[in-house]
Structure 1
Amino acid sequence: MTKYLYCIIVALGILNTIDTNAQNKPQGARVKISGIVVEKSSGKPLESAIVSFINLKNNRTTAGAMTNEKGIYEVDVITGTYDVKFEFMSFKTQYIKNKTISNSENLEKIALQEDPSQLQEVIIRNDKTTVEIKLDKKIYNVGKDIMVKGGTVSDVLDNVPSVSVDVEGNVALRGNDNVKVLIDGRLSNAININDALKMIPADAIDKVEVITNPSARYDAEGGAGLINIILKKGKTKGLNGTLMANAGDPENYGINGTLNFKSENFNLFTNQGFAYRKTPGNAFFDSRYLNSDNSTRNYIYEKRDNLQKGNTYNGNFGAEWFLDKSTTWTNTFNYRKNSGNGDNFISYQNFDANRIYKFSNFRNNIEDNSGSNIEFTSNLLKKFKKDGHKLTVDFSASKNNDDISATIYNYQNNSSLSTLDTSKNKQRQNRNTIQADYVLPLQKQSQVEAGYRGNFTNLLTNYQVYNNGVLNNQFTNVLEYIENVNAVYGQFGTKVKKLSMLYGLRFEDSHIEVNQLTSQLYKTKKYNNFFPSATWAYEISDNTNVSLNYSKRINRPRGREINPFNSYSSNINIFQGNPDLNPSLTDAFDIGFLKKWDKLTLSTSLYYNTTKDVVQMIRRETGNFVITVVDGADVITNGVPVVINGGADVITPVMITTPINLAKEYRTGFEFTLNYSPYKWWKLNTNFNFFAINTSGSYAYTNYLNQTIAQNFDNKTNSWSSRVSSKISLPYKIDWQTNFTYNAPQTTAQGKILGIAALNLGFSKDVLKDKATIALNVNDVFNSRKRRMYNFVNGTLDSYQEMQFRVRQINLSFTYRFNKSKNDKDIKPKRDNEQENGGDIPG
């Protein structure tokens, strides 16, 4: 029985008692009684506590109420003398005895204390919906999702409504990859956020918040919005925890544990996880190389087989100290370490213009990687006497090291000649953050808020390439990236009858240094921006709301995007950053509608974003050619290709991909999310997103023949995506979950991305008197999650490519809970800091 069910039963009992004795109720005036119920150990409000008024004349309950999310209750009572009873599941019941009520009044604040004996006797099964839909955000509760058992944060995000993760691990929100990912309300300290998300175990996550139009309190980074990943922390009093072990195919092992001890004065918690994973993947490129008149020059079929193997340790230790009833100080130490290796084997089958096979050459890239991350965070929360009046101060410092070394063999099937290339990539990053937020409630349901945030990042990348032991100066470089962003904000929120309003303004001062130490190219960019935001929300009824939101956002180029030196993953398809990239600025508008019925919740949104200086990847020829000679070695020439061996050689132009600021992008979309529970044993969730993109811009460059090549990148495209999730509770405590996703085709400025469909299945069963759960899930049942696209560069290339980062995955997991029920109700109210406070408007 859940605590909510308990509260409902008690409330129904009260109502029944009141109704039964309606004819016997005392005569007198009806007055309004209100008050607040809080948790004694923290002084924070208790939601859904039961307040009963017991008439002393007949010892019967004649009135009652339930507290709201702020712990406040309000009830009409007929004048008289009562015992007022306050109760909440697993807390000691408290009374106000012989209370004479003659006028409307506020009763004294009641502080309830937890009763450990009740916690031991009651099994709490809180069947909390997997997806909570709110007016300003969506909250995805990870603990109920069978699909992600034994997986990573990337797997979790790929199951969140409105969010998608492509085969390369890139995260997008509503089809837009300009999204900022936060962990516990803070920017991730990882050098590569996509890699970091694959290392954190899914079982370490409590929930994920999706905020499509953040207020001025949040960083302005992320044109599409924010995704906030909230990690598990200890909540239940006493010593408790969980232990989960999993195994899977392809080879995948892991163990993860949480432990928590909470007392009156402090809360100690830790999360420890270790995993070993093999991730096989594959890709192929079927390319037709063109002459200047678009006639065929030759064909190359490129096939890649990837195998990534690695060990990951992820752990944290934290202490939450209740200095007094109004002050909490939390310190957390996080440590993550990973090591592994990868084998990337590439084969090139070469054909002439008539697609007659000539020969093959091969490239084997063997990679070793290791990394470590250390982070310390500290949070101080001070609450004042007035409800909602508070001050929070946060500090974090982190150090991140990533080392990648690669050995690359190149050889030909009909030649004894070969080359040996090696590369080393060392990255060192330091990041410090300090933040302060102050909230002051005003009269008449209004409040003001102000704060400061400073983000200071220093990243040093040392990249070296050797060809047959000789240093390659074309690729070898040292890049220093420094980013200092200071921000202040203020916002005012108020509620007038059914209309809530929030107005905010954020100012960010950015100082960016891109120091290419090898070539002595130094770029400094200083800019400051104002970021206004506004939200209007109107309550049509208790279950129906409409909202209008606006915010201004920014996307700053970083790391790989701005490094002018090339990467060396392929000798014919290379990537080069652009140090002249400017940030993109987005104006985001959103109209939302939320309606709740008994079994159905509907959330819809119509959105419009306009972005200036949008960044887009373009491909062009470099003027370099790889001349592959039959019975000979590769020769790289600069300029017009030469003929070797009587024309028996194969001439392949070297293509470069680079990011540029490309004029404007207009994005319009419509999204809806449905939560539907037709029966107690069946829950359905679906999300649909349609968007249209209009890009306008042109690009011109001078090629190796000193010719000016102009390209028009004006492009109009639309696409849609859908996700359906079904969870069915079968007999014998078995749960069955099915997730289906589909991303529709989409055209690009230089080609087309084809549609992707995928199906996931999961089963779980409670065992050992509900103290443990066994779960089996299959990720990508039909092995269909592949990125497929066509690419056309006029006069150079016409290609089709297919890429699969990870093949079908099967996981079996076992979770054991000690001194803790399957789904403990969070009796410790939320901390009102940034990461868990999405409701900015006073209500």
Structure 2
Amino acid sequence: MKQIFIALLFVATTQIFAQGQQSQTITVKGAVIEEGVNTPLEYATISFLDTNNNIVTGGITDVNGKYSIEVPAGTYNVQFDFISFKSKTLSNQNLTRDTTLPDVMLALDAGALDEVVVRAETTEVQVRLDKKIYNIGKDLTTSGATVSDALNNVPSVTVDVDGAIALRGNQNVRILINGKPSAIAGFGSTDALRQLPAESIDRVEVITSPSARYDAEGTAGILNIILKKEKTLGLNGSIVVNAGVPITSGVTGNINLRTDKFNIFNTTGIRYNDSPGNAFFENTFFARDDEGNIIPNQVGLISRESRDYQRLNRGFNTNLGIEYYLSENSSITASGFLRLGDDEDTTVNLTNDFDGNNNRIESRNRTEVETEEDTNYQLSVNYTNNFDDSGHVLSADFQFDVSDEIQNNLITENNTFPTQDVLPSEIVRTLEDQTEYLLQADYVRPIGENAQFEAGFRINLEETITDFELQEQFIVNGSFVRNDSLSNVFTYNEDVYAAYTQYGNKFGDFSFLLGLRAENTRLQGNVKAENLDNTTDEALVINFDNNFFGLFPTVNLIYEIAERENITLGYNRRINRPRGFFINPFPSRSSEANVFQGNPNLNPAFSNAFDLGYLKRWDKLTLTSSIYFQRETDSFERIQEDTGEVTSNGIPIIRTIPINLSSNERYGFEAGVLYNPLKWLRLNGSFNYFNFKSEGSFNGIDYGTTNDSWFARGSAKVTLPAKIDWQTNAFYRGPSNNAQTETEGLLSVNLAFSKDIMDDNGTIGLNVSDLFNSRKRMSLTETETFRSESEFQWRERQIQVSFTYRFNQKKQRQRPQRDTGDDEGDFEGS
């Protein structure tokens, strides 16, 4: 909507210069306010019409409902408009000198409310020079769901069955909260996003061509989650209660109190879930001759492992903040976030081993009970000073994040065939402490009418300390003895110092934004272990201190073909820094024969990416599309290999380890459609195809591969009689492969119903997630020494009912969102 107003203003201004009717220019000021509640109306339009009712010029109001517009001296009818409000006109205004018009009060237009409801309930997309903004609207399938679930409904984004988030099929995506790294997003992990309610999201920004103001981390791009913060004066809020099967329940409350001097906001949620899952693995090891050489196509051993997961998750989170207005143009915001988790997960592994003739050799049962206590808190302070109404802004942020996690794992095992024997147990204890400091400042200076200059810096200091201790029994019911060869304390520091500058301008229908970001990354690792000096495993000697300096240019262009049609072109260079668990070389213990081990020799990966986009809007249809290309050097790849070691039962141990490949090239095409053909029918869909090629080798094995894949999603929302809404979401991800593994296609369907009650202040809903229980990842891995088939289902089908109650919130009054410092600013070429 804002772009349309600006385009109208541009056309009207052009007409003024062409006509040349007035030589004297004056300034007209005033304010537009909502009648009855005295709330400023942001983005209300003011039109100056001549005696023939032709628009001469116009403008829009700012966040405080004020306007200041230059007008050729003359007599005008001044018209005031805002969506869903009745228009008002001040007739025959003789404007010959600088004038302040009286405040204009606009009243709600009851006849326009139905149209606004449609706008509020459909996903909207806004295209900027460096991002696409998706206002989620009323997505029924996210009622009572989590932020992770909501992201899975955003075009270009996929969420894997185990929660891994990918952008255009690339999992190296940076997750930001309100434009900053945050404990809310779990310091790059996606686990925390499964605990936060989807109701807390205002909008999601998909930034596939990030400008220089953003951290260069994330070769796929950035997902910036903007949380809700109400702008309406007075006390208002909502509460959401949900329950379902398998056992899931939660309560989330949002409350906001805003006055002329301050704004207090809070979101608090409690969740209790018992989520079952399952997995199956079949590892086939090829036979060897007397000299140890592999005999092709001859089976030596088959190990089949089935897993059942029971995850009991109990969580509490709260986000409390206050924004205090120091003056009309400046404010300071302080907020605190707290998340507490108390989880208990039980994993039961049933393993059966067979010889080459499929005769059972041995069976055993391995049970792992894991208790986990999490504490995450974040304190942040923001200062914003708007020097004037032109967008001249200085903002500064300080943020402190802490995450403490305590895991205790009791692993018991017993043989069930050919004899029944209880085996020695083991206890794994992991303490993980993460601390992060963030300091940044951003300065935006408009130059003239269309140009804008920006500059800023960011300092990010992060430390992760992982204390891992393994205690083992040597005899059944014996005492537990610390394993000094594997027990260790791993300290990992990632410090990033960055500065950027960028400049944007607009010439007619053409806009550009050019930027350069400089970053210095320091990666430091240190390990302490009792037997570190005595071990012959070089992987344990991981003390390192490396610095990487990089320049990251960005180019973003946009050409307005017409008022509702544009083309964008973006280029950026980015970095992928290895996370701590990718570097920590101590293997996981969740499975004896299938382990994950970090690689301390990983270096950051760098990418260059291009993106060409096209947007076209019709009255009832919006089309977005783009083609993209990316080349990444030293890209990460997870590979599986036979370690040459065996378990106590003689089963070969398969290790998964991340490595740097020499290069990875990816290109693709995506398109999205939003279509509202009828008042009672709303449709949207998206399609993404990508191809990638990787080259590289590790330990003498070539892991190069070429692959293509695609995914598509569609959503249909129907308004039934009795004001019942019905929504169906379908998602399909096509098959894919890398150098070793082929992954089958995946289909998932969600279904939801909703009905408003209590004069539209309440909503009841029914939500079925994964209707056909088909959201399973099935894959096949083949190497020279073994073949591995697997099937994994993180969460089984869920059915939920929810109830939402809103107080002092009118559902119909959905207004255009103003961009604030929360998302680090925007440049639209105007």
Give yes or no for TM over 0.5.
yes
1:377 corresponds to which residue? 380
Tell me whether 537-546 or 35-44 shows the greater mean CA deviation: 35-44
2:260 corresponds to which residue? 264
Separation in 1 of the partners of 2:188 and 2:72? 60
Q: Which of 326, 348, 358 is the matching residue for 1:323?
A: 326
Q: Which of 153, 172, 176 is the matching residue for 1:159?
A: 153
Residue identity matched to 1:490: T
2:493 corresponds to which residue? 482
Separation in 2 of the partners of 1:387 and 1:225? 30
Structure 1 residue 672: deviation in Å?
0.7
Q: Residues 200 and 314 of structure 1 are in contact (CA less than 8 Å); yes or no, is this contact kept in structure 2? A: yes
1:513 corresponds to which residue? 524
1:671 corresponds to which residue? 670
CA pair 841-50 structure 1, distance change in 2 beyond 3 A: closer
CA pair 109-691 structure 1, distance change in 2 beyond 3 A: farther
Q: Which of 195, 199, 211 is the matching residue for 1:199?
A: 195
Q: Residues 57 and 71 of structure 2 are in contact (CA less than 8 Å); yes or no, is this contact kept in structure 1? A: no
Q: Residues 572 and 609 of structure 2 are in contact (CA less than 8 Å); yes or no, is this contact kept in structure 1? A: yes
- Report SS of the residue matched to 1:246: strand
Tell me whether 173-182 or 134-143 shows the greater mean CA deviation: 134-143
Are residues 1:423 and 2:428 paired? yes
Q: Residues 118 and 679 of structure 2 are in contact (CA less than 8 Å); yes or no, is this contact kept in structure 1? A: no
Question: What fraction of aligned residue pairs are identical, expressed as a percent?
Answer: 36
- Report SS of the residue matched to 2:199: helix
2:407 corresponds to which residue? 404
Separation in 2 of the partners of 1:404 and 1:35? 65
Structure 1 residue 138: deviation in Å?
2.9
- After superposition, give the CA deviation of every residue in 1:68-95 in whole Å (9 maximum; x if it has no partner): 5868798999954x56454657999998
1:637 corresponds to which residue? none
> Where do residues 426-445 of structure 1 align in structure 2 (5 Å cutoff)?
426-445=431-450
Separation in 1 of the partners of 2:102 and 2:599? 62
CA pair 38-575 structure 1, distance change in 2 beyond 3 A: farther
CA pair 90-127 structure 1, distance change in 2 beyond 3 A: closer
Q: Residues 46 and 78 of structure 2 are in contact (CA less than 8 Å); yes or no, is this contact kept in structure 1? A: no
- Report SS of the residue matched to 1:186: coil
1:642 corresponds to which residue? none
> Where do residues 94-133 of structure 1 align in structure 2 (5 Å cutoff)?
99-101=93-95, 108=100, 125=117, 127-128=119-120, 129-133=122-126
Separation in 2 of the partners of 1:498 and 1:43? 35
Structure 1 residue 139: deviation in Å?
2.6
Q: Which of 491, 503, 514 is the matching residue for 1:492?
A: 503
Q: Residues 143 and 203 of structure 1 are in contact (CA less than 8 Å); yes or no, is this contact kept in structure 2? A: no
> Where do residues 780-819 of structure 1 align in structure 2 (5 Å cutoff)?
780-795=770-785, 797-819=786-808
Residue identity matched to 2:119: D
CA pair 608-34 structure 1, distance change in 2 beyond 3 A: farther
2:248 corresponds to which residue? 252
1:835 corresponds to which residue? 823
Separation in 1 of the partners of 2:768 and 2:307? 25
Residue identity matched to 1:180: R
Separation in 2 of the partners of 1:739 and 1:809? 15
Q: Which of 179, 184, 188 is the matching residue for 2:182?
A: 188
- After superposition, give the CA deviation of every residue in 1:155-202 in whole Å (9 maximum; x if it has no partner): 011111110011111000000001000111111222562111111111
- After superposition, give the CA deviation of every residue in 1:303-349 in whole Å (9 maximum; x if it has no partner): 00001001111101111111111112111111111101000000001
Tell me whether 243-252 or 67-76 shows the greater mean CA deviation: 67-76
- After superposition, give the CA deviation of every residue in 1:757-807 in whole Å (9 maximum; x if it has no partner): 111111100001101001111110000000100011212x11210000000
1:620 corresponds to which residue? 641
Separation in 2 of the partners of 1:257 and 1:112? 35
1:766 corresponds to which residue? 756
Q: Residues 87 and 106 of structure 2 are in contact (CA less than 8 Å); yes or no, is this contact kept in structure 1? A: no
Structure 1 residue 29: deviation in Å?
6.1
CA pair 370-97 structure 1, distance change in 2 beyond 3 A: same
Are residues 1:549 and 2:570 paired? yes
Are residues 1:354 and 2:347 paired? no
CA pair 476-211 structure 1, distance change in 2 beyond 3 A: same
Structure 1 residue 599: deviation in Å?
1.3
Separation in 2 of the partners of 1:691 and 1:740? 20
CA pair 677-333 structure 1, distance change in 2 beyond 3 A: same
- Report SS of the residue matched to 2:148: helix
Tell me whether 183-192 or 479-488 shows the greater mean CA deviation: 183-192
- After superposition, give the CA deviation of every residue in 1:587-644 in whole Å (9 maximum; x if it has no partner): 010111111111111111110000000011111122211253xxxxxxxxxxxxxxxx
Residue identity matched to 1:806: R
CA pair 737-163 structure 1, distance change in 2 beyond 3 A: same
Are residues 1:393 and 2:396 paired? yes
Q: Which of 149, 157, 174 is the matching residue for 2:143?
A: 149
Residue identity matched to 2:500: Y
Separation in 2 of the partners of 1:411 and 1:434? 53
Are residues 1:729 and 2:740 paired? no
Structure 1 residue 140: deviation in Å?
2.8
- Report SS of the residue matched to 1:561: helix
1:747 corresponds to which residue? 737
Separation in 1 of the partners of 2:584 and 2:489? 9
- Report SS of the residue matched to 2:800: strand
> Where do residues 129-140 of structure 1 align in structure 2 (5 Å cutoff)?
129-135=122-128, 136-140=130-134
2:348 corresponds to which residue? 345
Q: Residues 48 and 66 of structure 1 are in contact (CA less than 8 Å); yes or no, is this contact kept in structure 2? A: no
Separation in 2 of the partners of 1:112 and 1:405? 64
Residue identity matched to 1:810: I
Structure 1 residue 99: deviation in Å?
3.2
Q: Which of 551, 569, 588 is the matching residue for 2:609?
A: 588
Tell me whether 507-516 or 285-294 shows the greater mean CA deviation: 285-294
Q: Residues 432 and 456 of structure 1 are in contact (CA less than 8 Å); yes or no, is this contact kept in structure 2? A: yes
Separation in 2 of the partners of 1:690 and 1:127? 29
Separation in 2 of the partners of 1:233 and 1:523? 43
> Where do residues 457-472 of structure 1 align in structure 2 (5 Å cutoff)?
457-468=462-473, 469-472=480-483
- After superposition, give the CA deviation of every residue in 1:276-317 in whole Å (9 maximum; x if it has no partner): 011100000122111312321111110000010011111011
1:239 corresponds to which residue? 235
TM-score (structure 1 length as normaliser): 0.87
Structure 1 residue 262: deviation in Å?
0.9
Tell me whether 505-514 or 141-150 shows the greater mean CA deviation: 141-150
2:543 corresponds to which residue? 522
Separation in 2 of the partners of 1:111 and 1:101? 16
Q: Residues 475 and 568 of structure 1 are in contact (CA less than 8 Å); yes or no, is this contact kept in structure 2? A: no
- Report SS of the residue matched to 2:356: coil
| Unaligned segments of structure 2, at least 5 residues | 9-19, 288-293, 474-479, 533-540
Structure 1 residue 580: deviation in Å?
1.1
Residue identity matched to 1:833: G
1:365 corresponds to which residue? 368
1:779 corresponds to which residue? 769
Residue identity matched to 1:840: F
Residue identity matched to 1:366: V
Separation in 2 of the partners of 1:506 and 1:238? 42
- Report SS of the residue matched to 1:187: coil
Structure 1 residue 428: deviation in Å?
0.7
Q: Residues 92 and 113 of structure 1 are in contact (CA less than 8 Å); yes or no, is this contact kept in structure 2? A: no
CA pair 112-299 structure 1, distance change in 2 beyond 3 A: farther
Separation in 1 of the partners of 2:340 and 2:106? 39
TM-score (structure 2 length as normaliser): 0.88
Q: Residues 148 and 194 of structure 2 are in contact (CA less than 8 Å); yes or no, is this contact kept in structure 1? A: yes
> Where do residues 163-182 of structure 1 align in structure 2 (5 Å cutoff)?
163-182=157-176
2:683 corresponds to which residue? 684
Are residues 1:653 and 2:663 paired? no
Structure 1 residue 735: deviation in Å?
1.1
CA pair 656-352 structure 1, distance change in 2 beyond 3 A: same
Q: Residues 730 and 748 of structure 2 are in contact (CA less than 8 Å); yes or no, is this contact kept in structure 1? A: yes
Equivalences, count: 778
CA pair 842-739 structure 1, distance change in 2 beyond 3 A: same
